[in-house]
């Protein structure tokens, strides 16, 4: 599969690139600073230097690909629109280019649903207050993805750690009960698994231990 990864120099995006290359996919990494891409010389990897928020700049990276993964994320607690703006730009280009499959990584922290236990329901309002800027950006990004008309999947991890690889759980359209952490390595595995699974199209996929 020919996969384009946005956020490829981030901690999650970099592992998605690793996993995709190890699985034999052709990967296009969209980056602002190629020097930060540690996989630069690996076979199967193409690097495109572009601003992910500029539709004109990313057309080359999306056209002719089978799927797109966005691991764009907020940097710190400051107000940001990077995830929402990125989702809008990526979806716009995908529709024009005819690329249908889109997987976007957000988070589970801004969502309270039937998958949450009593403790999680108690903690989440505090977490959302502390991380309100980033969570608001994720919510706007999810709305853009849902309205895109593409074959989308939303990946919703809880708190990210350096753990793994180890067995993890997933749930469709609800959070994972008791799954309060996930290692980035296992999140990357789950992203690639969802990408290949038609049952996840038009769904959110929560992950957790």
CB 80 within 8 A of CB 74: yes
DSSP letter for each residue of 96-136: HHT--EEEEE--STT---TT--HHHHHHHHHHHHHTHHHHH
Question: pTM of the full predicted structure?
Answer: 0.92
CA 187 – CA 189 distance, rounded (Å): 5
CA 60 – CA 52 distance, rounded (Å): 12
Rg from Cα positions in the chain: 16
Query: Is 2-208 CATH 3.30.420.10?
Result: no
Give the pLDDT band of residue 79 (cuts 50, 70, 90).
low
Residue 117: is its pLDDT beyond 90?
Answer: no
pLDDT tens digits for 10-31?
999 999 999 999 999 999 999 9
CA 10 – CA 30 distance, rounded (Å): 11
pLDDT tens digits for 82-104?
999 999 999 999 999 999 999 99
CA 68 – CA 23 distance, rounded (Å): 16
pLDDT tens digits for 120-150?
776 776 676 656 667 899 999 999 999 999 9
pLDDT tens digits for 26-51?
999 999 999 999 888 899 999 999 99
Beta strands at 203-208 and 67-70: parallel, antiparallel or unpaired = unpaired
- The position carrying tokens 């469709």 is 172
CA 113 – CA 149 distance, rounded (Å): 25
The verdict on whether omega for the bond into residue 207 sits within 30 degrees of 0, i.e. cis, is no
What integer is the mean pLDDT of 92-119?
A: 90
């Amino acid at each position: 599969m020919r996969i384009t990864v946005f956020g490829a120099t981030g901690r999650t995006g970099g592992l998605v690139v690793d996993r995709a290359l190890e699985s034999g996919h052709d990967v296009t990494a969209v980056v602002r600073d190629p020097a930060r891409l540690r996989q630069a010389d690996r076979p199967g990897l193409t690097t495109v230097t572009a601003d992910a928020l500029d539709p004109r700049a990313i057309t080359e990276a999306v056209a002719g690909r089978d799927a797109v993964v966005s691991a764009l994320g907020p940097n710190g607690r400051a107000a940001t629109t990077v995830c929402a703006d990125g989702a809008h730009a990526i979806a716009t280009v995908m529709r024009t280019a005819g690329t249908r499959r889109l997987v976007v990584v957000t988070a589970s922290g801004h969502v309270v649903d039937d998958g949450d236990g009593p403790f999680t329901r108690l903690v989440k309002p505090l977490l959302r207050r502390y991380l309100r800027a980033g969570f608001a950006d994720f919510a706007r990004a999810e709305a853009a993805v849902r309205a895109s008309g593409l074959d989308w999947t939303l990946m919703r991890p809880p708190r990210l750690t350096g753990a793994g690889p180890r067995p993890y759980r997933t749930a469709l359209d609800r959070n994972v009960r008791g799954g309060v952490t996930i290692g980035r390595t296992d999140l990357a595995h789950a992203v690639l698994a969802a990408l290949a699974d038609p049952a996840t199209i038009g769904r959110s996929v929560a992950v957790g231990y």
